[in-house]
Amino acid sequence: MLRTLFRLAPAHSVLRQHFQLSQCTNKLLSACSLTTSAVSRNCTKIAETKTVENADQITKTHNNPFAKTKPSYDTDEATNKIPPPTGEEERAKLLKVLQLEVDIAHQEGKRVPTLESITEENWLHILTLPSKSARFKYYGYLWQVEVKRQAKERKKEERAVQVLERKEELRKQREETDHIIYGLGHTSFFLRIYDSTINNFQNNRLTRAMQFSPKIVLDCSYDQNMTRREALNAAKQLMLCFAENRAHDDPFDMHYCNVNLESVCSKALKRYIPTMLNPEFPMNVHEKCFTELFPKENLVYLTPHCRTDLEAYNPDSVYIIGAMVDTVNNEPLSLAKAKRLGIRMARLPLDRYLQWGSGSGKSLTLNQMVNILLDLKTTKDWAQALKHVPRRKLLDMESEGQQQKRLLEKRANRLNFNLNDVLDEKRNKGREEQRQKIRTHMKNTPFDVDAWGAKKKNRNSN
């Protein structure tokens, strides 16, 4: 099983020089990978383009046959889009103009970061954005990051002051006493369990799972269909999938298939898990497709666009989850892929076991899916497994009931109707006179025909 781990360490260094981002802007602009075709400029998706030079035999850049060359909605013949810069002086000029734009927007008080805090990598991304509004949305994001960072630093310094004070006090106290000091860092009978010990234990369990457990595939071929932001989110979710699988009592044998190592998503995943491609690390990363790794009869593609529910969990079948964050793109891509390959399809029986609320859509993140499948494998009980669906997406039964109750009470109040009068008629006959039938605050006021029949003021604001 360990042989399936792809060795890519030497190939990586070859690729790395193409993507080295230096500090100097001249080098930035003359990097050959940046003078890419107009296609990438016209697309709103920021997919890193496939590298131009790949003469090296070790670098098996797998041309994904399922990847599209152009996003499906790019039907405009680019009449309304800004023409992309060709040549290096044009790019330098554009960069200067954009810096001026940021400066002026900052002077006008708009949400843009200060010019100094925008890094080279950010400028690289900004130069690929197609329109002014897209740029301003990205500036807004950078502004938010900057402001949060400043607030965090400020709070940290304030806390540091308090911590120092506290430590001083504690040290003074401890110097005076001659008793033994118990606690973490002092005399204690607890063994310290380090993170690396936990990791080793879990890795060991994972290697055992690779030999004996059922398999799961995460299909990473959707990078061309995601925007940059979505690709980064997908990378984080993939990392969480691996972590939560490893931490579970009975992990799956997880395979990442159709991985394109130059894509935005995979590069971000490599940042999260730097040892991802090391041979001793128990993560299966394949550039091949899952059809080449597993027999087709066992494959089941989990896609939300099909009509058949997954009835029962079958440990012999290999479940495939498409690693795509589809907030922007809502085409049935996973359905199309499964249809083309002729694989069985299924979706989770969410409607049968859960009451879906009105707010959020029925999309689940990748790590939620993996958790559901893990629990399904262990307990074979859908109700238990679907507890991993976040509560905010589901219908809040209690608040619905209370809302109904409040509405009824409001209407009864308006009609001056009291349910207890009707129900406890016999018992409270004597008390009827005491019950206030007319509104007491109006009792002593003279009758005013102009105000008669006016709407009752809403005293409770709900």
The CA distance from 416 to 313, in Å, is 57
Among 4, 131, 173, 188, indicate the residue that binds another protein (CB under 8 A).
131
Residues 6+ apart with CB under 8 A from 187: 180, 181
- Answer yes or no whether residue 140 interacts with another protein by CB under 8 A: no
- Answer yes or no whether residue 169 interacts with another protein by CB under 8 A: no
The CA distance from 224 to 313, in Å, is 31
Nearer to another protein, 97 or 419 (CB): 97
Judged by DSSP in three states, 242 sits in helix
Burial, 7: exposed, middle or buried (Cβ in 10 Å; 0-12, 13-18, 19+)? Answer: exposed
Integer CA distances (angstroms), 20 to 14, 15, 32, 40, in order: 11, 9, 11, 20
Q: Looking at 14-22, 154-162, 184-192, 387-395, which segment touches another protein (CB under 8 A)?
A: 154-162
The CA distance from 257 to 220, in Å, is 6
Residue 433 CB, nearest approach to another protein (Å): 51
**Location of structure tokens 């810096």:** 99
Binding pattern for the stretch 307-346 against another protein, x by CB under 8 A and - elsewhere: x-----------------------xxx-xxx-xx------
Nearer to another protein, 106 or 267 (CB): 106
Binding pattern for the stretch 280-309 against another protein, x by CB under 8 A and - elsewhere: -------------------------xxx--
The CA distance from 291 to 301, in Å, is 11
- Answer yes or no whether residue 164 interacts with another protein by CB under 8 A: yes
Q: Looking at 21-29, 101-109, 383-391, 424-432, which segment touches another protein (CB under 8 A)?
A: 101-109
- Answer yes or no whether residue 422 interacts with another protein by CB under 8 A: no
- Answer yes or no whether residue 125 interacts with another protein by CB under 8 A: no
The CA distance from 270 to 231, in Å, is 13
Question: Do 138 and 125 contact (CB within 8 A), yes or no?
Answer: yes
Binding to another protein, residues 23-82 (CB under 8 A): 68-70, 72-73, 75-77, 79-80, 82
- Answer yes or no whether residue 435 interacts with another protein by CB under 8 A: no
Question: Do 311 and 280 contact (CB within 8 A), yes or no?
Answer: no
Contacting positions for another protein (CB under 8 A): 68-70, 72-73, 75-77, 79-80, 82, 93-94, 96-98, 100-101, 103-109, 131-132, 150, 153-154, 157-158, 160-161, 164-165, 305-307, 331-333, 335-337, 339-340
